[in-house]
């Protein structure tokens, strides 16, 4: 079976080490990654799905707010990913947002962010390791719950911003014990999911691999639909 191609956006600073990890997760679950980034060729017609990766904070200007805290920004990447996220949502392209990517999906849908999540949620103490140290509760009857179950999940938490106002067509899919949003998802799209954590570093965990597998299944379904072949149908997505 042909591996669906997944465009993966990364930072120009750290993409050289992040992309291989994400691509490994995609390969293990049946897909193939194509690295994108500011200054690199980007073609939505050449892929069947998208991963918007983690990295620098998102400029508050994208959701009509002023910068209130010190942050490392990447305007070129902001512009690229904001447009990609909007296009993915409007064209119903399967997309997985990771950390910053989840925040970008929310902003692209008209939502906003807390610029300093740890000030807003003082009980949710920052964690600076890729190891799963934060407990997350997945909301019942969400797509994420069908993918990964509803048991409490342990994840990492390498972020400073978090979802504030949820964007149009999105819903909360997971929160931590302090109430901070840890995952959002599209209400109607075949596969639109953003997780605040970094599942690519937890490849050994079955429930984290399931996130990439669900993206690959959705991407394969889209590829088959474009080719008008019965190889994979929307019924395949119902299993997730």
- Cβ neighbours of 230 (radius 10 Å): 8
CA distance 202 to 189: 26
Identified catalytic residue from 82, 114, 159, 198: 198
CB 77 within 8 A of CB 42: no
- As a whole number of angstroms, the distance between CA 199 and CA 206 comes to 10
Q: Which residues contact 61 (CB under 8 A, 6 or more apart)?
A: 67
Burial class (CB in 10 A: 0-12, 13-18, 19+), 145: middle
Residue 133's contacts (CB-CB under 8 Å, 6 or more residues apart) are 127, 154, 156, 157
Q: CB of 129 within 8 A of CB of 226?
A: no
Strand ranges, E, within the chain: 5-9, 32-36, 49-52, 95-98, 113-114, 134-138, 153-155, 162-163, 170-176, 181-186, 192-195
Quick check: is 82 catalytic?
A: no
> Are 194 and 238 a contacting pair, CB within 8 Å?
no
Q: Is 139 a catalytic residue?
A: no
Which pair of tokens denotes residue 84? 């990609």
- 61 among known catalytic residues: no
What whole-number distance in Å separates Cα of residue 111 and Cα of residue 162? 11
Which one of the listed residues 81, 99, 114, 159 is annotated catalytic? Answer: 99
- Catalytic amino acids? 99, 198, 200
């Amino acid at each position: 079976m042909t591996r669906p191609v997944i465009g993966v956006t990364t930072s120009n600073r750290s993409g050289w080490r992040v992309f291989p990890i994400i691509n490994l997760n995609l390969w293990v679950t049946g897909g193939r990654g194509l690295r994108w980034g500011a200054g690199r060729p980007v073609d939505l017609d050449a892929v069947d799905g998208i991963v918007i990766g983690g990295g620098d904070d998102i400029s508050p200007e994208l959701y009509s707010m002023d910068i209130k805290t010190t942050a490392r920004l990447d305007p070129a990447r902001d512009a690229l990913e904001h447009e990609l996220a909007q296009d993915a949502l409007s064209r119903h392209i399967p997309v997985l947002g990771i950390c910053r990517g989840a925040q970008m999906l929310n902003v692209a849908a008209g939502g906003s962010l807390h610029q300093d999540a740890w000030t807003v949620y003082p009980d949710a103490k920052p964690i600076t390791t890729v190891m799963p140290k934060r407990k997350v509760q997945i909301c019942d009857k969400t797509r994420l719950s069908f993918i990964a179950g509803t048991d409490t999940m342990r994840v990492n938490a390498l972020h400073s911003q978090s979802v504030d106002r949820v964007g149009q067509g999105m819903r909360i899919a997971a929160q931590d014990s302090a109430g901070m949003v840890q995952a959002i998802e599209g209400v109607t799209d075949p596969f639109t999911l953003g997780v605040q954590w970094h599942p690519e570093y937890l490849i050994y965990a079955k429930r984290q691999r399931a996130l990439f597998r669900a993206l690959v299944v959705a991407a394969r379904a889209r590829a088959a639909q474009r080719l008008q072949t019965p190889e994979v149908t929307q019924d395949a997505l119902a299993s997730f």
